[in-house]
C-alpha cells in the first residue's frame, strides 16, 4: 500500500478522504470525536508540508441531501482541533479556495455509494493528489474511497496506514498466546472473524447474545434470549472445529426484559428458563475470561459481553474491559460497541490500539480485501 512517503504533497492541493461519520445526539452535538482526532496526524503533516486540503467524508446513510446529516458539526470540531478555519463547501461545482475546505456529506451526491466514475472525476478535478485516511470506510467501494483513487496520484494517510499495519500484525505475526474476545448480538456477523481466529488464535472467548446459538447447538434451553436461528448451524460448526480453544460462558445474568428496571436473576449454568433472557455473562465466566486475558501476549477484542448499556447487565463487559486494559499484552480493540464500552468504563486510554473502524476492522481481520486499501496498492 502506498503511503505518504510515496506521494509528493509539498505545496499541492490534496484531496483527503476522512471518516468523520461520528455519532451525534439529538441536538447535533458530537458525542465521540475519536474519528476526527484520529485523522489529525495526517492533516497536520500535510499542513506542515504547505498542502492545501480539500476534505471529504460521509455521515450516516442519508437518502439524498438532508440537513440532519450535514457535516457542519464535524467541520466546527475540526476547526477547533486544528486551530484553523475550516470552510464547508455545499456545492461541488463551486468549491471555495481556502487552506482547509471540507466538502458537504459525500452521500448527498448521486453516485457516491455506486462508485460512480463521473462523480469521482468531479472529486478528482478539485485537487492534484489524493490521500485516503478513512479507515472506517475502507470496506466500501464508493466514489470517494475507491474510484477517485485511480484518477490522481494517491496514497494512504497515517491513520489508514497504522490501522492496517496493526490489524494485519495481530494476524500475521502475533506474540502468543493470542486471545480473541468476540461478543455482540449476532453470531452471523462474526462467523468470518471466528473462522479467521480458529486458524490463528490460541484461545477464543465468546460472550454477548451471540453465545445463545452456541448453547442451542449444544442442546441447552435459551428461554426468551435473543438467539439467531440461522446462527445455530454455523455456531455448532465453530464449536466442533475449535473444541480445544473456544470458551463459552459457564454462568449468566438474566432479566425478564431488555430494560434497566427489569427483575434480574443470576443463573449458575447456561440454561435460561422460559420467560427470562440472558443479558450478561455471569461473574464466574467474567473471572475466567479475565484470567485468560491476563496471561495473553496479544488480545483482540470485538463486541460486548452483554447489554452493557443497561447497568444491571454491564458488569461482564466491565470486567473484561478492565482485564483488557490492565493486561501486559498488546491489546487491539475493534471499533463500534467495544470502543464505546471502553470509553464508558474509562479504560479507552489504557489499550494499545482502538480501531476507528467497526465493519472495516472485522473485514480486515476476516482476511477480506478492503476496496479502499486495494485501490492504493
- Which residue among 52, 186, 237, 245 is the active-site one? 186
Cell reading at 338: 467495544
CB of 343 to Mg ion, least distance (A): 18
Q: Which of 358, 363, 371, 376 binds ligand 3PG (CB under 6 A)?
A: 358
312 lines the binding site for ligand 3PG (CB under 6 A): no
Q: Does residue 282 bind ligand 3PG (CB under 6 A)?
A: no
- The residues that touch Mg ion, with contacts defined as CB under 5 A, are 359
Count, residues near ligand 3PG per rule CB under 6 A: 8
Q: What is the DSSP letter of 30?
A: B
Distance between CA atoms of 6 and 376, rounded to whole angstroms?
A: 11
71: which 3 cell numbers? Answer: 457535516
Q: Quick one: what does residue 137 bind among ligand 3PG, Mg ion, none, with the CB cut-off 5 to 8 Å set by partner type? A: ligand 3PG
Catalytic: 13? no
**Residues counted in the chain:** 377
User: DSSP letter string over 336-365?
Assistant: THHHHHHHHHT-GGGSSEE-S-SHHHHHHH
The question of whether 336 is a catalytic residue gets the answer yes
The one of Mg ion, ligand 3PG, none whose footprint includes residue 140, by CB under 5 to 8 A per kind, is: ligand 3PG
- Check if 294 is active-site: no
Dihedral over alpha carbons 218, 223, 224, 228 (to 10 degrees): 10
Residues 37-96 binding ligand 3PG (CB under 6 A) are 61
Q: Cα–Cα distance between 125 and 279 in angstroms, integer?
A: 52
Q: How far is the CB of 315 from Mg ion (least distance, A)?
A: 27
Active-site option among 98, 169, 236, 359 = 359
Q: Which of 4, 15, 21, 285 binds ligand 3PG (CB under 6 A)?
A: 21
Q: Which residues contact 374 (CB under 8 A, 6 or more apart)?
A: none
Catalytic residue among 184, 242, 306, 336: 336
CA–CA separation, 101 vs 262, rounded Å?
Answer: 49
CA of 66: how far to CAs of 59, 61, 112, 114, in Å? 11, 10, 15, 19
* CA 224 to each of CA 212, 251, 255, 370: distance values in angstroms, whole numbers, following the listed order: 10, 16, 10, 37
- We find the least distance from the C-beta atom of residue 57 to ligand 3PG, in angstroms, to be 8
Question: What is the smallest separation between the CB atom of 129 and ligand 3PG, expressed in angstroms?
Answer: 23
* In the complex, least distance from residue 313 CB atom to ligand 3PG, rounded to whole angstroms: 25
The Cα–Cα gap between 242 and 79 comes to 49
Q: How far is the CB of 259 from Mg ion (least distance, A)?
A: 26
CA–CA distance, 221 with 162 (Å, rounded to integer): 44
Q: Give the residue nearest to ligand 3PG (CB).
A: 21
Q: Is 177 in the site for ligand 3PG (CB under 6 A)?
A: no
54 or 74: CB nearest Mg ion: 74
Q: Counting contacts by CB under 6 A, is residue 236 touching ligand 3PG?
A: no
Binds 242, which of ligand 3PG, Mg ion, none (CB < 5 to 8 A, cut-off by type)?
none
Burial class for 361, CB neighbours closer than 10 Å (0-12, 13-18, 19+) = buried
Is 35 annotated as catalytic?
yes
For residue 349, what is its C-alpha cell? 486510554
Among residue numbers 124 through 163, which ones bind ligand 3PG (CB under 6 A)? 136-137, 140
Output 123 or 276, the one with its CB closest to ligand 3PG. 123
Backbone angles phi, psi at 118, to 5 degrees: -65, -40
Alpha carbon distance 151, 187 (integer Å): 39
Considering only residues 4, 9, 15, 19, which one is a binding residue for ligand 3PG as defined by CB under 6 A? 19
Angle at 116 (CA atoms; ends 53, 44), nearest 5 degrees: 15
Question: Residue with CB nearest Mg ion?
Answer: 359
Nearest-approach distance from CB 136 to Mg ion, in angstroms = 8
Judged by the rule CB under 6 A, the positions of this chain that interact with ligand 3PG are 19, 21, 61, 136-137, 140, 358-359
- Residues with a catalytic annotation lie at 35, 186, 336, 359
Amino acid at each position: 500500500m502506498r503511503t505518504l512517503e510515496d506521494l509528493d504533497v509539498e505545496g499541492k492541493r490534496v484531496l483527503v478522504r476522512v471518516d468523520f461519520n461520528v455519532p451525534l445526539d439529538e441536538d447535533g452535538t458530537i458525542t465521540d470525536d475519536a474519528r476526527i482526532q484520529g485523522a489529525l496526524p495526517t492533516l497536520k503533516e500535510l499542513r506542515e508540508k504547505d498542502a492545501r486540503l480539500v476534505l471529504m467524508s460521509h455521515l450516516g446513510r442519508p437518502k439524498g441531501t438532508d440537513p440532519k446529516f450535514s457535516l457542519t458539526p464535524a467541520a466546527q470540531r475540526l476547526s477547533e482541533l486544528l486551530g484553523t478555519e475550516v470552510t464547508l463547501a455545499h456545492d461541488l461545482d463551486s468549491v471555495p479556495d481556502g487552506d482547509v475546505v471540507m466538502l458537504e456529506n459525500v452521500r448527498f451526491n448521486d453516485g457516491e455509494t455506486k462508485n460512480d466514475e463521473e462523480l469521482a472525476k468531479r472529486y478528482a478535478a478539485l485537487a492534484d493528489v489524493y490521500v485516503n485516511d478513512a479507515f472506517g470506510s475502507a470496506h466500501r467501494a464508493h466514489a470517494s474511497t475507491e474510484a477517485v483513487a485511480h484518477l490522481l496520484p494517491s496514497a494512504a494517510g497515517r491513520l489508514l496506514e497504522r490501522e492496517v499495519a496493526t490489524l494485519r500484525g495481530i494476524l500475521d505475526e502475533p506474540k502468543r498466546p493470542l486471545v480473541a474476545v468476540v461478543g455482540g448480538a449476532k453470531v452471523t456477523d462474526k462467523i468470518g472473524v471466528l473462522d479467521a481466529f480458529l486458524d490463528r488464535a490460541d484461545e477464543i472467548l465468546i460472550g454477548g447474545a451471540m453465545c445463545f446459538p452456541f448453547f442451542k447447538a449444544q442442546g441447552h434451553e435459551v428461554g426468551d434470549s435473543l438467539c439467531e436461528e440461522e446462527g445455530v448451524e454455523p455456531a455448532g460448526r465453530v464449536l466442533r472445529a475449535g473444541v480445544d480453544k473456544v470458551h463459552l460462558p459457564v454462568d449468566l445474568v438474566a432479566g425478564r426484559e431488555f430494560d434497566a428496571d427489569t427483575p434480574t436473576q443470576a443463573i449458575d449454568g447456561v440454561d435460561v428458563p422460559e420467560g427470562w433472557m440472558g443479558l450478561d455473562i455471569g461473574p464466574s465466566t467474567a473471572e475466567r475470561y479475565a484470567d485468560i486475558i491476563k496471561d495473553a501476549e496479544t488480545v483482540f477484542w470485538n463486541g460486548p459481553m452483554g447489554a452493557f448499556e443497561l447497568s444491571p447487565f454491564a458488569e461482564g463487559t466491565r470486567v473484561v474491559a478492565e482485564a483488557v486494559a490492565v493486561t501486559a499484552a498488546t491489546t487491539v480493540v475493534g471499533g463500534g460497541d467495544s470502543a464505546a464500552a471502553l470509553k464508558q468504563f474509562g479504560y479507552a486510554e489504557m489499550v494499545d490500539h482502538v480501531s476507528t473502524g467497526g465493519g472495516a476492522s472485522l473485514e480486515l481481520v476476516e482476511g477480506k480485501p478492503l476496496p479502499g486499501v486495494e485501490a492504493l496498492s
